[in-house]
A and B are shown apart, each in its own frame.
Chain A
């Protein structure tokens, strides 16, 4: 585990935002690439033992990233992998500074599931002394929406035990 890098996490119930801030030991160009390139996103976006799989990625304003989270049977008790589809619609991109848009749950064709709330996100990138800080601001319409989104995230990652983590970072 990397304990020297800064990690802040804050849920603000008054304006329904979640702010996650994390520092990475790499320059901005590389970190930006890891957040905006499908081949790289697929290697880290899925929290072990889940995996992210990109179906399509068009990183430009008006474009989107369509991907699924593959959840293994060990987490769900099902016989096969479960696939949860998600889509990020990109609205504004400022190269090497920030990108923002909406986050939705959908099916494999990208058709939005209205049962789950859409959220607005903005990811900001800042480099200082060769380290890059990413600030993720996620804004929702209500606290219930935040709750639903987090519960979705739960299904993907709740079972991740510290043992598995230790295994991963050996």
Chain B
């Protein structure tokens, strides 16, 4: 697989998913985020960096502190992607419905 930076890579890791859940409620500083995890601060920074590269979180400066917040619209892309997958299966299943009906009628 090619290396890539997209939203699916972002959510492929459990720690990153936990970070997303955490900052969905409110923007947080890296220190405040790190307090919620057993991993090192560097590890959390690395995750934040990946999330930023995937444009799933953005930074903003408030005074001396940097805050990370969730890009809600980017999260919606994931929903959209799953919805399309669902649609493919819906199409298939509707076709199968029709086929089953046809076979049932032929039997009669």
Contacts and interface: CB of A to CB of B under 8 A. Distances in A.
A154 B88 CA distance: 8
B19 to A, nearest CB: 14
A7 B9 CA distance: 28
Interface residues of B, number: 29
Nearest to B12: A143
A87 to B, nearest CB: 18
Interface in B19-47: none
Contact of A143 (B8, B91, B99): B8
A2 interface: yes
Given A5-B97, A150-B81, A47 B88 contact: yes
Interface string A79-103: 0000000000000000000000000
Interface string A110-129: 00000101000000000000
Contact of A11 (B17, B82, B84, B99): B82
**DSSP class of A's interface residues: helix, strand, loop or mixed?**
mixed
A169 B98 CA distance: 8
A22 B100 contact: no
Interface of A: 1-2, 5, 7, 9, 11, 13-14, 20, 22, 24-26, 30-31, 34, 40, 43-48, 115, 117, 142-144, 147-148, 150, 153-154, 156-158, 160, 165, 168-169
